[in-house]
Amino acid sequence: MKVLLDELSLVTIWGPCDIAEGILAVKIDALLSVGFKITATGELQEMDRNNPIHANVPTFTVCWLPHATAAKFTDPAKTLSIPVYEDAQLQNLVVHLTVPCRSVDQAKWILNGGYFTLSSE
């Protein structure tokens, strides 16, 4: 299947991934979250004040999908885009990943300032 990159969107899939038309699907399992924790289905949760600053993120899938298919995973009213940084110094932005988030909760999580990082150092 030949598809131009301009016709694809990078999507994040939380939970089981059974998308047949996914191009270059990759499972990610060593990411950390800062300022929030996240469930296996991608639900954002507040960190307990007694927990460490970083939380392990459950395994999820990223893949390139045609725009029409990707729309249900990237709807701005149902998702929130969270940055992924190379390390805790926030100097190198790697990508933005989407997580499920109701529109009424988006302001709360944006103000929280949470992010993902590849390393805790």
Q: Which of 7-11, 14-18, 56-60, 77-81 shows the lowest mean pLDDT across its residues?
A: 14-18
Q: Indicate whether 76 pLDDT > 90.
A: no
Output the pTM of the full model: 0.85
74 SS3 class: helix
Work out the mean pLDDT of the chain and round it to a whole number: 86
The domain that holds 18 is classified in CATH as 3.10.490.20
Mean pLDDT in residue range 70-83? 87
Joined tokens for residue 60: 């999820």
CA 26 to CA 90: how far, in whole Å? Answer: 24
Range of the domain at 82: 5-117
Residue 62 vs residues 13, 41, 44, 87, 106: alpha-carbon distances, Å: 6, 14, 18, 20, 22
CA 61 to CA 8: how far, in whole Å? Answer: 16
- Predicted local confidence at residue 3, as pLDDT: 76
Structural domains in the chain (count): 1
Mean pLDDT in residue range 107-118? 91
User: Looking at this protein, which amino acid is placed at residue 82?
Assistant: I
